[in-house]
Structure 1
Amino acid sequence: MQPEGAHFGDLPVELVEEVAEVCRGDSLALALVSKLFNAVATRIIYRRLKLEAPDTLIGALKTLAGNPLAAQSVKTLSIATTSQKRFKSFYTLLERAISGCENVTSLGIASSLPEYGPLLRKCTFPKLEAFHYLSIDEDVVEFLRRHPRITNLYLTRSPHDSSVECPYAPLTLPRLTALVCSSSAMPLFVSTSPLQAVHVVWDSTEFAHMDATMQVLGTSTAPVGLFATELEAWSEPLLRSVANHLARIDTLIISNSTEDLYADEAYDSFVNVLLEVLPNFSRLQRLKLAAGCGQNPVASIYTMCDDYTMSTKLGRACPTLETCQFITEIPFDRHRWGIWLPDAGFPRISMWYRHFMFSTSSPLRALSAEILEGFLSDARNEMEYLLARHALSAKSVEAKSRTAVALRSENDIGAYL
């Protein structure tokens, strides 16, 4: 029985919000129940706000400008308007709307229109930790100087800006750990930030510019752990530069965004250079070679056999390497017994396992019985267990066959004598 005088509204606000979160799909209806639920529903509705659809954009901005609770509830704000220029009154309304969003921790503006620059100059978000912007200019640099709490930053040049110059003094962002940035802007952040993950968007593919950028990254106050980049080619000079300046990374991701990988004969040459420079890396654990633009070749038994062979070679060249993923997108992991195998959860993997199991040229047959016994006892799934057991069985049959041949030879020799 409910105690007399006890009401749902007497519960702690945190608990009411948990209940309302369960009803997130009916937040608008929940807002009509009472003033308490209206406040709770408002916080839920506006917590993650994406200003995109033209038919709702102006209404949402007017709500933020006129409802302080809604504005203060926004934690993640994404502005993804079209590239079409708008009237000055729109940017005035936008400024009024987001200036009250003082609790925003993540801000993204998917536009390179210059009208957003003055807006950034006027706004400050004391709790901002993540920022995404598509231009590098004086306005955004000054905005970043006022937000030293930023930990994640995505900052690239406008598509219409072909400059590789960045005439700004380095920024002090002592918490910045993850950076996606145009290569020419790297000096703004590297010298004062404890970067852990870096993705470079190249302003120029001239080797002098690329090598200079890698030298800058090599001077980071903390060792960079993850390095990712994308080019329209398999760049061997870039790979050598990464090995020279970022030898302590643990993850390397290189993507080729060309539209026709099948005609790209440079891939084999690139992998050979990779084999050559891998010993330079002292901590590398994860390696990924990817194809951009959705041009990944379809995985087959033959491509997976090639990937297995290459994973094994790369693993020998770099003892710390644990995972390899090639353009077929099938990851190969090093088993504790030194055997490289694909993730059993991917399509077509069982077919490859069976081919690998019954092939007379299976490299597993070259392993010692001791290693295969250990592999069998540590199998992570049924396919690995069957693979190890069949390899042991084949090795046993081969041993018996060799013994039988040796005995026949001895008997033949004895009969001849």
Structure 2
Amino acid sequence: MDTTRYQFPAEIVDEIFTYTTNDTIVSLCLVSKVFNTFATRILYHRLSLKKPSQIVRCFHTMLRNPLAAKSCRELKFSTRIEVIPEKATQLGAFFRLLAKTFPALCNLRNIRITIAHWFPWTVKFGESVDFIFQTCTFPHLENAELHMPLTPCIARFLERHQQTLKSVSLGPVGIQNNPTFQPITYHFPHLDTFFGNASLALSFFQSVPDALPEMEYLMVNWGFFEDFDFRELIIAMEKRCPKQQPIDLTFHRSGWNEDLIEEISQRFPQVQELIIECSEMDNDDELEQATVAQSLKRCKALTDFTWSIDHEDPEAFDDWNIEDWDIEEEMSNIMLLSDACPSLDYCRIPHGVSWARHVSSFWIPFHRLKDHHPSVFPSMVDLVNKRKYPPLPELLEYMEACYELGEFVWEVVDKFKETESLEVECAERKEATMCLMAMGRGLDVWRYAELEDHPLTRQVVEAIKAFNRQMKVETEA
């Protein structure tokens, strides 16, 4: 076969293979010498291995096939490797295979591996597997997710890659050891993301002598065994993060964390996204919304504030009954926070849903997939129907300003106003409210899926399309 016709640029071949399945690529490797090189490179470019048996087969192949090893850019173990002393023989062979193969992955950019040890007597065994990274260096490594015991060997591995790493995620799964980065000195000039537990994060930031100029996102997990003063960590983080550069922060910690929010507002007024996930709270303690609002006043750049309960059940609103959720009370609290922090676009408070500011001051219960609840839409309809939605006058003015879409806009708004004198449960009033809600969906004021098939929603969308076409014609003319 004449192979010269297949000398395509690598970019074209990559694009062609995006339209094929892995099974097709494997078939090409087996039956076509012409495409074997191309197919092998694409097949091993990104590896997400879900079972230990897959890992073994894949690593044996890369050990025998240099092309496959050099082709690997992304390696993720989608399963935890459980460290069990009873399986020491099998695990020993498994980890030796990893140690032999890793040095061949010279083009690796991203790696994720999880090694779990659940009992005190397995900690030493879990720490002993660090030899898999003892001799390997990945010249292009950018992202390292090493969920395993932090040992001196792992610390030296990070030290070897500090000039290329952009994202580091660390933290043992199961029983913790006592991690420390000292006495190694780290610089990480390109590091923009760091995940880790609190003790490890404290050790890390205390071992960095200079500022981390690219740092953009920090996520810290507080375990029940970490009892040091959280202010010590926040101060260490403040010293190493850029003062003016926007930053996103996520913290998982027990309690309601008003004190943590206050400390962050003082040390990181430039925070752009702040996520506080609480656990092991005392439900008898009253939430200090006003105190948190005072803290958020300092955060002039904050656009997303999520203050929620960890491991919540969306079907139970953080384990509260649906009857306990009061949309009026929650909206009052959301507006309290947004008045204190005008830059907010997204907000969530404990025992509640996400809220989004879609237009001007219109705060809407927001349907994020993880906290979608069937009560949100009916509650919002009921709030508007009872004329208790605070920015309702501004909302009606906004809709009336869209009169160029057609006379039906005024008709819907006028009908809604006319029915205000009717009983709340009156069918005519409810119908006028639903039409207003549908028009709001078409205007993208809110995005409730329940309104997508309403005739008025489709009418508004078609009117907007027609208006845009007309404007385009007039502009071109």
Q: Under a length normalisation based on structure 2, what TM-score does the superposition of the two structures give?
A: 0.71
Q: Which amino acid aligns with 2:36?
A: N
1:20 alignment partner in structure 2: 17
Q: Which amino acid aligns with 1:354?
A: V
Deviation string 1:100-152 (CA, Å, 9 cap, x unpaired) is: 11111011120152233222121100110000113322111111111121111
1:373 alignment partner in structure 2: 397
The equivalent position to 1:281 in structure 2, one of 293, 299, 303, is 299
2:389 alignment partner in structure 1: 362
Alpha carbons 2:114, 2:173 under 8 Å: kept: no
Alpha carbons 1:288, 1:325 under 8 Å: kept: yes
Deviation at 1:324, TM superposition (A): 0.5
The equivalent position to 1:97 in structure 2, one of 101, 104, 107, is 101
1:393 alignment partner in structure 2: 417
2:131 alignment partner in structure 1: 118
2:189 alignment partner in structure 1: 174
Shift of the 192–355 alpha-carbon distance from structure 1 to 2, 3 Å rule, reads same
Q: Which one is further off, 27-36 or 185-194?
A: 185-194
Deviation at 1:255, TM superposition (A): 0.6
1:108 aligns to 2:112 (yes or no) = yes
Deviation at 1:289, TM superposition (A): 1.8
1:81 alignment partner in structure 2: 81
The equivalent position to 1:127 in structure 2, one of 140, 158, 174, is 140
2:156 alignment partner in structure 1: 142
Q: In structure 2, how many angstroms separate the alpha carbons of the residues matched to 1:343 and 1:67?
A: 50
Q: Which amino acid aligns with 1:156?
A: G
Deviation at 1:157, TM superposition (A): 4.2
Q: In structure 2, how many angstroms separate the alpha carbons of the residues matched to 1:203 and 1:191?
A: 27
1:334 aligns to 2:357 (yes or no) = yes
Secondary structure of 2:94's counterpart equals: helix
Secondary structure of 1:341's counterpart equals: strand
Alpha carbons 1:235, 1:270 under 8 Å: kept: no
Deviation string 1:18-47 (CA, Å, 9 cap, x unpaired) is: 223312242221222312322222122222
Alpha carbons 1:52, 1:81 under 8 Å: kept: no
Q: In structure 1, how many angstroms separate the alpha carbons of the residues matched to 2:256 and 2:225?
A: 11
1:315 aligns to 2:342 (yes or no) = no
Alpha carbons 2:277, 2:310 under 8 Å: kept: yes
1:216 alignment partner in structure 2: 236
Q: In structure 1, how many angstroms separate the alpha carbons of the residues matched to 2:415 and 2:339?
A: 22
Alpha carbons 1:102, 1:126 under 8 Å: kept: yes
Alpha carbons 1:236, 1:270 under 8 Å: kept: yes
Task: Mark the structure with the bigger radius of gyration.
Answer: 1
Shift of the 334–391 alpha-carbon distance from structure 1 to 2, 3 Å rule, reads farther
1:29 alignment partner in structure 2: 27
1:264 alignment partner in structure 2: 283
Alpha carbons 1:357, 1:391 under 8 Å: kept: no
Q: In structure 1, how many angstroms separate the alpha carbons of the residues matched to 2:415 and 2:115?
A: 57
Q: In structure 2, how many angstroms separate the alpha carbons of the residues matched to 1:272 and 1:265?
A: 18
Deviation string 1:349-395 (CA, Å, 9 cap, x unpaired) is: 43233212111433235x4xx6741365479xxxxx89x93797269
Secondary structure of 1:265's counterpart equals: coil
Q: In structure 2, how many angstroms separate the alpha carbons of the residues matched to 1:394 and 1:216?
A: 60
Q: In structure 1, how many angstroms separate the alpha carbons of the residues matched to 2:309 and 2:267?
A: 24
2:265 alignment partner in structure 1: 243
Alpha carbons 1:372, 1:391 under 8 Å: kept: no
Deviation at 1:329, TM superposition (A): 6.4
Alpha carbons 1:234, 1:256 under 8 Å: kept: yes
Deviation at 1:343, TM superposition (A): 3.1
Shift of the 314–6 alpha-carbon distance from structure 1 to 2, 3 Å rule, reads same
Deviation at 1:75, TM superposition (A): 1.0
Shift of the 376–211 alpha-carbon distance from structure 1 to 2, 3 Å rule, reads farther
2:62 alignment partner in structure 1: 64
Q: Which amino acid aligns with 1:96?
A: K
Q: In structure 2, how many angstroms separate the alpha carbons of the residues matched to 1:152 and 1:96?
A: 25
Shift of the 340–119 alpha-carbon distance from structure 1 to 2, 3 Å rule, reads same
Q: Which one is further off, 51-60 or 244-253?
A: 51-60
Shift of the 146–34 alpha-carbon distance from structure 1 to 2, 3 Å rule, reads same
Report how many residues are paired.
382
1:353 alignment partner in structure 2: 380
Q: In structure 2, how many angstroms separate the alpha carbons of the residues matched to 1:396 and 1:57?
A: 66
Q: In structure 2, how many angstroms separate the alpha carbons of the residues matched to 1:36 and 1:335?
A: 54
Q: Which amino acid aligns with 2:413?
A: R
1:228 aligns to 2:250 (yes or no) = yes
Q: In structure 2, how many angstroms separate the alpha carbons of the residues matched to 1:117 and 1:237?
A: 38
Shift of the 81–101 alpha-carbon distance from structure 1 to 2, 3 Å rule, reads same
Q: In structure 1, how many angstroms separate the alpha carbons of the residues matched to 2:60 and 2:416?
A: 72
Alpha carbons 2:330, 2:352 under 8 Å: kept: no
Q: In structure 2, how many angstroms separate the alpha carbons of the residues matched to 1:98 and 1:122?
A: 9
Alpha carbons 1:342, 1:349 under 8 Å: kept: yes
Deviation string 1:49-107 (CA, Å, 9 cap, x unpaired) is: 23452333322221111100111111111244222354444333222212111111011
Alpha carbons 1:105, 1:128 under 8 Å: kept: yes
Q: Which one is further off, 153-162 or 138-147?
A: 153-162
Give structure 2 stretches of 5+ with no counterpart: 117-125, 404-408, 423-477
Secondary structure of 1:313's counterpart equals: helix
Shift of the 332–33 alpha-carbon distance from structure 1 to 2, 3 Å rule, reads same
Alpha carbons 1:243, 1:277 under 8 Å: kept: yes
Q: In structure 2, how many angstroms separate the alpha carbons of the residues matched to 1:293 and 1:29?
A: 43
Q: In structure 2, how many angstroms separate the alpha carbons of the residues matched to 1:361 and 1:126?
A: 61
Q: In structure 2, how many angstroms separate the alpha carbons of the residues matched to 1:289 and 1:138?
A: 36
Deviation string 1:191-220 (CA, Å, 9 cap, x unpaired) is: 432311000122567775200101111123
Q: Under a length normalisation based on structure 1, what TM-score does the superposition of the two structures give?
A: 0.80
Q: In structure 1, how many angstroms separate the alpha carbons of the residues matched to 2:211 and 2:377?
A: 49
Q: Which amino acid aligns with 1:117?
A: D
Shift of the 166–97 alpha-carbon distance from structure 1 to 2, 3 Å rule, reads closer
- Give the root-mean-square deviation of aligned CA atoms: 3.3
Secondary structure of 1:340's counterpart equals: strand
Deviation at 1:315, TM superposition (A): 0.6
1:408 alignment partner in structure 2: none
